[in-house]
Every structure is written in structure tokens, then in C-alpha cells.
Amino acid sequence: MLLSHSCGMKMVVNRDNRVTVPAALRRALDLRPGDEMEFVLCDGNLLIRPTRQGVVKDRPAETGSQA
């Protein structure tokens, strides 16, 4: 699945200064609660990416709904 900035996904920073990663991106990256993310500021843009040690690729699939 290819998702990029051209998809136009916009999120709002809430009053606790948090943003929610859209479900489509969580599924595409197999992100789960507790996964470690890296924040990089580059030329005025914020890049958010999972760290390699923070995302477990060979974990069993969870049962139930994925939000």
C-alpha cells in the first residue's frame, strides 16, 4: 500500500498536544500501541517514522478490531 503526502491526510493537534495516526497509516505500517516512533525536523517539515527496534515485524496478529 502506497500512502504519501499527496494523499492529503490532515490531522489536528488536540488540547493535549497529541495527534492520532490515521487508521490507514497504522495498518500500512503495522503500528501497535507501544511502538516507538522517531520525530525528525527536516527543512521545516516534520517526519514521523517508526524506529526499527520499536516495531516488531514478526509478532502474531492481534484478534479483535484494529482501530
More confident of the two residues 66 and 11: 11
C-beta separation of 24 from 3 below 8 A? yes
pTM: 0.61
Beta strands in 1-67 (DSSP E): 37-42, 45-50
Q: What distance in Å separates the CA atoms of residue 62 and residue 52, rounded to the nearest whole number? A: 20
pLDDT at 67 over 50: no
Q: What is the mean pLDDT of residues 25-49?
A: 92
Chain segment 7-23, per-residue pLDDT in tens: 668 899 999 999 999 99
Phi-psi map region of 16: left, alpha, beta (phi>0 left; psi -120 to 50 alpha): alpha
pLDDT at 46 over 80: yes
Predicted local confidence at residue 23, as pLDDT: 92
